[in-house]
Structure 1
Amino acid sequence: METEEGEDRTPLLKESQPGTVPACCSARYNLALLAFFGFFLLYALRVNLSVALVDMVEPNTSLAKNTTSNVCPEHSSTINVPRNTTIPGGYLASKIGGKLLLGVGVFGTSVFTLLTPLAANLGVGYLIAVRALEGLGEGVTFPAMHSMWSSWAPPLERSKLLSISYAGAQLGTVVSLPLSGLICYYMNWVYVFYIFGALGVLWFFFWMWLVSDTPETHKSISHAEREYILSSLKDQLSTQKSVPWRPILESLPLWAIVVAHFSYNWTFYTLLTLLPTYMKEILRFDAQENGFLSALPYFGCWLCIILSGQIADYLREKQNLSTVCVRKCFTLIGMIGPAVFLVAAGFIGCNYALAVAFVTISTTLGGFCTSGYSINHLDIAPSYAGILLGITNSFATIPGMVGPVIAKNLTHNNTVGEWQTVFYIAASINLFGAIFFALFASGEVQDWAVSGYHLHRN
């Protein structure tokens, strides 16, 4: 009987190393780049309202007072994580295909963004309705992309390909924050929505023209690349029509991802929602007033996501480390690191520069989780990766609703001691999630995720 680590490697890939099918100009990396720009625009579309709203409500002083206190904290809490992603999004991706679902999601978001100035002129109710419809479009994009990568990403290239595609969200945030401000300053706030919305529509046409759901249906993929991808995935995909819901919900490796995702989001929301409040109320410093400092954590996270994806696959391919070992190590770094700096934030005194440094370091280290639990869905069940992501993200939305309420109840007097309690709770939850994932996560394709095959390691 082989050890778990030995079984977790992928012998079938030794016959066709990635080096034999160059990454440059390949169909799979073209897909990653197009996805990168798609998520770049998607998150730019999410951020632009936060910047433009200052000019939008300026004539109405009472409205400005009502929205200013809500938008900045909410902006910090919703930028990075796909909170709108739900189980139906993953199920739709498995039925109609990730290409169409992701394309329509970005296209719909872009169209409603173009309609935002008109909605704003008609009234607040119309504006809220348009932004809510945008959220529906955004919610299907991540499970749709996961569904596509289940057919496109060779096991030993998953970390690199997925990190490239999803890192667009971070860079979209970094670029759109200052760029939206410049557009408002030199032009008019309506052009923030027109420019980004038009770019999203343009991206949609390129996406529909150049992308295919599977390598088999791609028009210009080389024969060598098609065979390389298909041979690497031949024993990992399921051909059964129905979704094995009961085995999915009984899968301990899936619940390891659920717990890790829930815990990570709790700390994430604490850092990017509550810590700015702590800095403003306790340290008397508002980081939102400085656009550079607002974008710095996202830039650090973007850089970490890109680099960690390369490192993760290097360790798996060149150093022969097992998939489960890499996923666990990267998750531990990406969760314990932010927890440590979160606790430290309660003991920084009045040093706001140190507070900004802690936020940046914590968010940057969190980028390791992209090559950890975040793509582990593809390791354990490639055929149902979109559905699994919908399940884990459904649980991961809870901290965004519960965390701020608990923190508010614990900080009635806004004392340092009260805030230290908030930080301790978040760090403890994060630590628990990291340990739970390290104990119960798997790097293997589960037996319920394949049809007609025995258990395989990836």
Structure 2
Amino acid sequence: MNLSIALPAMVNGTAPSSPPNASSAVALDDRNGTVMELTALAPVYAWSPEIQGVLLSSLSYGSFVASVPSGYVAGLVRPRHLIGAALLTFSALSLLIPLAAEAGVALLIVLRTLQGVAQVMIQTSQYLIWVKWAPPLERNQLITISISGLMLGSLTVLLAGGFLCETLGWPYVFYIFGGIGLACSCLWFPLVYDDPAAHPLISAAERDHIARALAQQDCEPDQSLPIRAMVRSLPLWSGLLSQFTEHWFFYVLMGYLPTYLHSVLHVDLRASGFLSALLLGVAFISIILGGLLADFLLSRKVLSLLVVRRLFTSVGVLFPSLFSVLLPWVSFSLGVTMAFLVLSLATSSLCQSGALVNFMDIAPRYTGFIRGLSLVFIQLSGVIAPTVSGFFLSQDAQLGWRNIFLLSAAVDVSGLVFFLVFSRAEVQDWARAQTLTRL
């Protein structure tokens, strides 16, 4: 989020011939229509829209290339060391972004690609922590609390980033949040342990509780991978396809929400930023509540694990699909549109306790590798969905939005049908320790 917020301040679209390190005057209209001259607080650069697109995408380049390899490595290396090193690296590189921008756009692209590699190492390894630490009846709430940090971080940068750019200058967005990351990485190493048995501070009662809860779980990582069995596993494919389909509408929303609010509902850019932050706040809260509800139903034995996974996925797909299809018909009202978007994000968050964590049920010993594999499907959705949406809008601005929402619903529901038919919640034979056939 840092670069997305800072990029408008980094680019001088009005004076492309200015030297990169020169201060420039920015003209702003005040409420009385007069013009004020403000001196830029940081260097600006004459980057074309194409270069800006590459800069924003470069993080995904590293993540996409490193997803599967980092997932495999995560099963071989202590996740505590891998996550801590990746967080330290990512944060240190954030501090270097202003210097890289000054040195040249090529170096900045390389740096952002390296950040993408570090980021995906964190995403693939964090679930390995929960495999050892989270009892089955507490797993949903612990995972969703940690996942909600993605929304909270994005919300924080969205609210604070613009203010920092206007007051201190865009480099401080990277300095401040990079510094926070370094502080977190310094806390990570002394406070986090891979296994409860190795932790010096938790009580014996808590350690015994976790050990008893996980006694029957085969979660020790294996260097060899049953690739052939994985390819033939329909439960695994149902989870992977769910990652693709359920992120489709999310990427459409994150990529085009400000455009939709501005072009269709005629909301100014500042207000659209606030409304986007509101939706992230709703997602942050609803993800946590969904995890708490899932564990409540499991601990009280109201529903089985498979029923919870399928029910939460169904609600998290059907309701957002319905609300998204109705959006073009309520565009006359900003209030109704925002209500539909809030309900859509709130209900879609239930998928985090449904199909999106199902891979931990069917193959806990290969959690890191499968998580890396699922990130490939997520990133493919992040590439295809905005591209297709842009094509629809270029063909017909009026009907384009309707087609975007209809296609999003169709993709999401098709993934749901496949998941309901083929999903399972028990450890698969190929993921058990006694599996002999390897490739």
Q: TM-score, normalised by structure 2?
A: 0.84
Comparing 61-70 and 115-124, the one that deviates more: 61-70
Shift of 1:326: 0.7
Shift of 1:204: 0.7
**Structure 1's 74 and 427: CA in aligned 2 closer, same or farther, altered over 3 A?**
farther
Matched residue SS, 1:156: coil
How far apart are the structure 2 equivalents of 1:129 and 1:73? 11
CA RMSD of aligned residues (A): 2.8
1:177 to 158, 162, 165: 158
Residues 1:106 and 2:87 aligned together: yes
Name 1:54's counterpart in structure 2.
8
Name 1:133's counterpart in structure 2.
114
Name 1:372's counterpart in structure 2.
354
Matched residue SS, 1:86: helix
How many residue pairs get aligned? The number is 404
Contact 1:114 1:198 (C-alpha < 8 Å) held by counterparts: yes
1:245 to 211, 219, 227: 227
2:144 to 163, 168, 174: 163
Matched residue SS, 1:115: helix
Q: TM-score, normalised by structure 1?
A: 0.81
Residues 1:305 and 2:305 aligned together: no
Deviations 1:40-93 (A, max 9, x none): xxxxxxx122222222224864487866799799979x99xx877711121111
How far apart are the structure 1 equivalents of 2:264 and 2:281? 26
Deviations 1:269-320 (A, max 9, x none): 2222234434444444455654321211111111001111111000000143
Comparing 416-425 and 324-333, the one that deviates more: 416-425
Name 1:5's counterpart in structure 2.
none
**Structure 1's 179 and 428: CA in aligned 2 closer, same or farther, altered over 3 A?**
same
Shift of 1:371: 0.8
Deviations 1:320-347 (A, max 9, x none): 3111111111111112222112111222
Name 2:383's counterpart in structure 1.
401
Name 2:408's counterpart in structure 1.
426
Q: Which residue identity does 2:188 align to in structure 1? A: W
How far apart are the structure 1 equivalents of 2:52 and 2:323? 25
Residues 1:329 and 2:311 aligned together: yes
Q: Which residue identity does 2:9 align to in structure 1? A: D
Q: Which residue identity does 1:378 align to in structure 2? A: M
How far apart are the structure 1 equivalents of 2:199 and 2:259? 49
Contact 2:258 2:273 (C-alpha < 8 Å) held by counterparts: no
Q: Which residue identity does 2:2 align to in structure 1? A: N
Contact 2:218 2:364 (C-alpha < 8 Å) held by counterparts: yes
How far apart are the structure 1 equivalents of 2:258 and 2:94? 28
How far apart are the structure 2 equivalents of 1:370 and 1:215? 25
Residues 1:97 and 2:51 aligned together: no
Written as runs of structure 1 = structure 2, the 5 A alignment for 1:58-457 is 58=12, 61-62=15-16, 86-239=67-220, 240-285=222-267, 287=269, 290-452=272-434
How far apart are the structure 2 equivalents of 1:66 and 1:338? 37
Contact 1:97 1:147 (C-alpha < 8 Å) held by counterparts: no
**Structure 1's 225 and 67: CA in aligned 2 closer, same or farther, altered over 3 A?**
farther
Q: Which residue identity does 2:10 align to in structure 1? A: M
Deviations 1:246-285 (A, max 9, x none): 2222221111111111111112122222344344444444
How far apart are the structure 1 equivalents of 2:427 and 2:411? 28
How far apart are the structure 1 equivalents of 2:229 and 2:270? 46
Matched residue SS, 1:154: coil
Contact 2:148 2:287 (C-alpha < 8 Å) held by counterparts: yes
Shift of 1:399: 1.9
Q: Which residue identity does 1:121 align to in structure 2? A: E
How far apart are the structure 2 equivalents of 1:362 and 1:61? 41
4+ residue stretches of structure 1 with deviation over 4 A? Answer: 63-76, 82-85, 238-241, 286-289
Q: Which residue identity does 2:239 align to in structure 1? A: I
How far apart are the structure 2 equivalents of 1:286 and 1:197? 30
**Structure 1's 155 and 427: CA in aligned 2 closer, same or farther, altered over 3 A?**
same
**Structure 1's 72 and 319: CA in aligned 2 closer, same or farther, altered over 3 A?**
farther
Matched residue SS, 1:96: coil
Q: Which residue identity does 1:221 align to in structure 2? A: I
Contact 2:261 2:272 (C-alpha < 8 Å) held by counterparts: no
Q: Which residue identity does 1:194 align to in structure 2? A: Y
Name 2:29's counterpart in structure 1.
none
**Structure 1's 137 and 369: CA in aligned 2 closer, same or farther, altered over 3 A?**
same
Contact 2:152 2:281 (C-alpha < 8 Å) held by counterparts: yes
Contact 2:323 2:340 (C-alpha < 8 Å) held by counterparts: yes
Shift of 1:348: 2.4
Name 2:23's counterpart in structure 1.
none
How far apart are the structure 2 equivalents of 1:145 and 1:151? 11
Matched residue SS, 2:218: coil
The gaps in structure 2 that reach 5 residues or longer are 17-43
**Structure 1's 437 and 101: CA in aligned 2 closer, same or farther, altered over 3 A?**
same
How far apart are the structure 1 equivalents of 2:137 and 2:68? 27
Identity %: 35
Q: Higher relative contact order at CA 8 Å, sep ≥6: structure 1 or structure 2?
A: 1
How far apart are the structure 2 equivalents of 1:334 and 1:83? 26
Contact 2:291 2:353 (C-alpha < 8 Å) held by counterparts: yes
How far apart are the structure 1 equivalents of 2:268 and 2:53? 10
Contact 2:75 2:223 (C-alpha < 8 Å) held by counterparts: no
